[in-house]
Amino acid sequence: MSKGLFITFEGADGCGKTTQIKLLDEYLKSRGYKTLLTREPGAKGLGEKVREILLNYDGEVSPRCESFLFLADRAQNADCIIKPAVKDGVIVLCDRHTDSTIAYQGYGRGVNIEELKKLNDMAVSGLKPDLTFVFDIDIQTSMARVGKEKDRMESAGLEFFERVRKGYLEIAKQEPERVKVIDSTKSIEEIHQKVLEFIENVFG
């Protein structure tokens, strides 16, 4: 393969996507593919500093300021990590990307979605996932998985996360070719098999 692939993993907190990224990474490596794991917020380097602010700052953060911080981290991840790797033929697996901003800041916090789409475009400058998984789960279950120790984002409340979930399902409806919804109430192995079905389709 000359050009790599860019695959993103999305869903509400506690949906189980991080486990699935690791499983897919192991699978791809076992098949001889070169892979790279990255995440937003918190790509290696500068992104880790931005993540620290986003998840732990305990003063007031306006929804628009929050959006710009996520977008700044995204631009860095796109330019310095994702694009060079894809160009080198690597399969990049990214834990959250543009759809998180639409779901969380747009649907969740009420920031204007059309504006966020433009800002997302500016942040990634031509980068687009080849495939996106949305791990869908009811919010009661996902919040129970998150547990009592919540970071700044996870403390936003059940109604917020209901809006985030709705946002993801709406995004999937609008872009069914790219965005695949997976029922995350199933077992880890069943979910992994579903992921592989979609991956095989992309590889053809």
Total number of residues that touch ligand TYD (CB under 6 A)? 14
The two beta strands, 35-39 and 131-136, are: unpaired
Nearer to ligand TYD by C-beta: 3 or 118? 118
- 145: nearest Cα among 18, 37, 26: 18
Binders of ligand TYD in range 25-54 (CB under 6 A): 40-41
Least distance in angstroms from the C-beta of 11 to ligand TYD: 8
Query: Which listed range, 20-28, 80-88, 93-101, 188-196, lies at the site for ligand TYD (CB under 6 A)?
Result: 93-101
d(CA 10, CA 115): 20
Least distance in angstroms from the C-beta of 196 to ligand TYD: 21
Query: Which listed range, 79-87, 97-105, 123-131, 185-193, lies at the site for ligand TYD (CB under 6 A)?
Result: 97-105
Binders of ligand TYD in range 154-173 (CB under 6 A): 154
d(CA 117, CA 15): 24
Nearer to ligand TYD by C-beta: 4 or 108? 108
Collect all residues with Cβ–Cβ distance below 8 Å to 201 and sequence separation of at least 6. Answer: none
Nearer to ligand TYD by C-beta: 51 or 194? 51
d(CA 136, CA 168): 8
Least distance in angstroms from the C-beta of 198 to ligand TYD: 20
Beta carbons of 150 and 198 less than 8 angstroms apart: no
Least distance in angstroms from the C-beta of 173 to ligand TYD: 20
Nearer to ligand TYD by C-beta: 73 or 83? 73
The 3-state secondary structure of 33-80 reads CCEEEEECCCCCCHHHHHHHHHHHCCCCCCHHHHHHHHHHHHHHHHHH
For 100, the enclosing helix (H) or strand (E) is: helix 98-100
The two beta strands, 91-95 and 131-136, are: unpaired
Applying CB under 6 A, does 70 fall inside the site for ligand TYD? Answer: yes
Among 7, 38, 90, 96, binds ligand TYD (CB under 6 A): 96
Applying CB under 6 A, does 104 fall inside the site for ligand TYD? Answer: yes
Site for ligand TYD, rule CB under 6 A: 13, 18, 40-41, 55, 70, 95-96, 100-101, 104-105, 153-154
